[in-house]
Amino acid sequence: MLERFAPSEAVELAALAESHGFRGVMAADHFQPWLPRHGQSAFVWSVLPAIAERTTGDIGPGVTTPTYRWHPAMVAQASATMAAMYPGRHWLGIGSGEALNEHVVGRYWPEAPERINRMFEAVDVIKKLFAASAAGRDVRHSGPHFTLESTRLWTMPQTAPEILVAAGGPVTAKRAGRTVDGLITMDAPPERLELLLARFAEGARDAGRDPSRMPKVLQFHLSWAPTDEEAMANAMREWPIAGMRIGKGDIRSPFEFEQLARGVRPEDLADRLTISADPDVHRAAIQRAFDLGFDRVYLHNVGRNQTEWFEVFGREVLPKVRR
């Protein structure tokens, strides 16, 4: 959560997490924090290599939007450079974006279907650049949303980074299965996650690919503290976003989120966030994700008690999760 920790602190925390048994980092690509009190929003492509220097696991942005602040060619260059510097460790997470981050460049903010179409065209541009550059040739693109004149990436790893698309609905999940290497989604009720995984698998099979060999990634929000009361207080203070029962994609300002979050009550978080002082409650919830078919689960403890959380989960949760 680069929105809640200064970049140097985020680097230290990532290294500390790995020392307690965590094996990878998903770092947020935001221009603004969710709430003013979060207080930070570092540039993910500067922080990622600093974290990679201090860790040994996989690393990627969760998620970059190559459609408004970024032309997809720039995202392709950033990702290819990361992969060249850290072979076999970097993956590229891509999403359709939120107004909170993307409207800052002053462009028209479209409805969700157009945002998703733009995202998949951006993926096409990135894939073309990766493939052509690996083959040592130029490529061009002319589409409804993006133009790329004849060019290539001059720094290109031997193996292109895996492209994972963030999907929250079955139609996007199926389209992701047809077009990219893997899926990213956020924790949700099991029946919804099963549907997303099924649609992703359908899309993969439609494209003649084996979904069992494609990464399926879950971003898992939780609140752990030594007491249930502290865990709930952390969730209400730091992550009331989880309890907002409205679409978040069109909200433009951390101050707007702050106003809307004032209506969130503890009961609103009940089915949106795992909140408990009992490590086994969290272990069981994480285990369900793997049992459903996810390959990687990135944990976000919403409180600022990160060091304490690393110690407890490294000792009592991670060793007991079966993958």
Residues catalogued as catalytic: 30, 98
Residues 18-44 as b or e (16 or more Cβ within 10 Å = b): beeebebbbbbbbbbbbbeebebbbeb
